Amino acid sequence: MTDTTAGSTGQSRLRVIIAACIGSALEWYDFFLYGTAAALVFGDLFFPKSEPIVGTLLAFLTFGVGFVVRPLGGVLFGILGDKLGRKPVLVATLLMIGIGTTAIGLLPTYAQIGYWAPVLLVLMRVIQGLGAGAEYGGAVIYLVETAPAHHRGFWGGFAPLGVSVGNLLAAGAFALVTTLPREDLMTWGWRLPFLASFLLILVGIFVRLRVAETPVFTEAVVARGKIERNPAMEALRRHPRNFLVVLGARMAENGLGYFFPVFGLSYVINTVGVPKADALSALMLAFVIELFAILGFAALSDRIGRRPVYMFGALCGIALAFPFFWMVGTKEWIWIAIAFILARAVVTAAMFGPQAAYFAELFPPQRRFAGFAFARELGSLLAGGPAPFVATWLVALSGSWWPVACYAIFLSACTVIAIWAGPETYEESITVDNTADGALHAAAALPA
């Protein structure tokens, strides 16, 4: 059986890509913006009575709160996505993320309202996390279910491309405001990047309201009467192996994805003593190169499979763990830039590029959204959420960076094991459930 594809016009396909990318960009603009602010200003603004290192730890702890609620958001909106369709959920999650981020830019600080300031900060983080729990999964599924059969990896790569765009925008926004005098930065300058997300909301909602539902959902789920009562639990019950593959695959991709730019940025600035502008410019260069690397690795996975590309990224994560700290320890901008480029454009991009199509292909259409979002965001809770906090705590505890490097190796090793144990999917049909007992079996290759 051939996969159903979307309308063939270039305009409709471009609209689909933009609709998916802009949501991913907003989600990760918000999340990386929060991580950057936690590394640079939130410790002083919301936890001023703590020691500097404790303030940073507390700020990173609130960063992790968003990840705690992401699995809940993934289950809730994932179920709705498999029952009501992909499009309405994509609109709802975009609104939640954008509103939560914009509201952070309006929050009073500890100096103004005391302990209520960090409480409100956590509340806004919860709203962000609930929306983000299904935003990326929804964008990926929308792209993959609309893509031509043998180009799902490349099309799916536009969702993580949006992630890199969001990370780049967040780093650029903070690079601009950090040029302000410190008094201005700490009073009003830090708010501007959060308030700017409102513009992304308007554009994103406009675009997403103009796209149609995916043909896979309308033809393979609705038309065939395969809507399930609880697709999230069905995904866990019927596909336990694939569920665990997603969890393990997230350990390195998500953990190192936050470990290097969020903790790494804080470490380079606060521990190594590199000026903020130099560290941010090096990180921004890495994000720019990563834009092209993600699509390259995604397209490569259409030719040789998802597993070899993903495995390469995880193994590179092991290889880079110690050299990353050696390079940033030189305090030379060029070596710091190379360290961030290797971390983002090789390690993360090689996993992030094929991940979109791979995770979507692991679940059948009637429980794809819920299974994808639930498993992926549970992985976020285990990997990305605690990564900056754990890394900062290890440095504070040991006074050295080597335990952090070992932690990075552990995350990468978990992913190597998961990908080794997982199935290959790049030649599977995504319009039918090829499973009888929950395990993904090989299907006939699709025609060109």
Report pLDDT for 54. 61
The closest of 130, 128, 30 to 80, measured between CA atoms, is: 130
pLDDT at 2: 41
- Pinpoint the alpha helices (H) of 261-332: 264-266, 276-304, 306-328
Query: What is the dotted CATH code of the domain comprising 10-209+230-421?
Result: 1.20.1250.20
Residues 6 or more apart from 368 whose CB is under 8 A from it? 82, 141, 145, 360, 430
> Helix 197-208 to helix 10-40 angle, to the nearest 10 degrees?
160
Rounded Cα distance between 301 and 311, Å, is 11
Q: What is the per-residue pLDDT for 154?
A: 92
Q: Identify the DSSP state of 180.
A: S
Question: Would you say 222 and 360 are in contact if contact means Cβ atoms under 8 Å apart?
Answer: no
Give the residue from 429, 428, 153, 435 showing the smallest Cα distance to 310.
Answer: 153
Using alpha carbons, select from 17, 246, 12, 317 the residue that is nearest to residue 154.
17
Q: Given this model, what pLDDT does residue 6 score?
A: 42
Q: What is the residue-level pLDDT of the chain in tens, covering all 448 positions?
A: 344 444 444 556 777 788 778 777 877 787 778 777 776 777 778 777 665 666 666 666 666 676 778 788 888 888 888 888 888 888 888 888 888 888 988 999 888 888 788 888 888 888 888 887 788 888 888 888 888 878 999 998 888 887 778 877 887 887 788 788 888 888 888 889 889 888 878 888 888 887 777 878 787 666 666 777 788 888 888 889 999 999 999 999 988 877 777 778 878 888 888 888 888 889 889 988 998 999 999 999 999 999 999 999 999 999 999 999 999 999 999 999 999 999 999 999 999 999 989 999 999 888 888 888 888 888 877 776 677 678 778 878 888 888 889 989 999 999 999 999 999 998 888 876 654 434 443 333 333 3
Which pLDDT score is estimated for 358? 94
d(CA 232, CA 156) in angstroms, rounded, equals 22
pLDDT of residue 298: 95
pLDDT value at position 445? 34
CA 33/CA 382 separation, integer angstroms: 21
- In this prediction, residue 53 carries a pLDDT of 62
Residue pLDDT, tens place only, 97-110: 888 888 988 999 88
- Which CA distances in Å does 359 have to 64, 286, 290? 23, 25, 20
In this prediction the pTM is 0.77
